[in-house]
């Protein structure tokens, strides 16, 4: 089996428990590791035989634009949509991080990690 990874995708989005976070917005990063069969693409050199990561990025961007209170919810939505829109995906792991979360101290990021198969999506 093989993987396609999209790392450090950056977005400005409006996620957060506090109303102010959803109004003002903040910075987020997303990493995706997608498991699928890439053997046909390895020999054919045809986009149709692989996962179009530009299309995956656009899907993540769309989901990031929908405000949520919890980054867990956003991550789950992205995995569910990935599974629905790209049926060749066998499994995927997402890491979604909120940069400089609003806490009483210095925290570079708060992040969640979910797996498509673990989430039962």
Could you say which of 7, 33, 84, 98 is catalytic? Answer: 98
3-state secondary structure of 107: coil
What is residue 66's DSSP assignment?
S
Give the integer Cα–Cα distance in Å for 34 and 57. 12
Q: How far apart are the C-alpha atoms of 94 and 79, rounded to whole Å?
A: 7
Cα–Cα distances in Å, from 100 out to 25, 49, 65, 78, 107? 12, 39, 19, 22, 6
DSSP-derived letter for residue 106 is -
Cα of 111 vs its chain's centroid, Å? 12
Residue 98 annotated as catalytic: yes
Catalytically active residues are 98
């Amino acid at each position: 089996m093989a993987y396609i990874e999209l790392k450090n995708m950056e977005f400005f989005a409006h996620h957060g428990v506090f109303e102010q976070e959803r109004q003002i917005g903040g910075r987020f990063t997303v990493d995706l590791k997608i498991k699928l069969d890439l053997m046909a693409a390895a020999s054919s050199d045809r986009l149709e035989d692989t996962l179009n990561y530009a299309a995956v990025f656009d899907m993540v961007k769309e989901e990031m634009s929908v405000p949520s209170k919890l980054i867990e919810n956003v991550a789950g939505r992205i995995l569910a949509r990935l599974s629905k829109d790209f049926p060749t995906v066998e499994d995927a792991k997402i890491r979604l991080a909120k940069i400089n979360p609003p806490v009483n101290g210095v925290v570079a990021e708060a992040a969640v990690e979910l797996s498509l198969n673990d989430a039962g999506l």
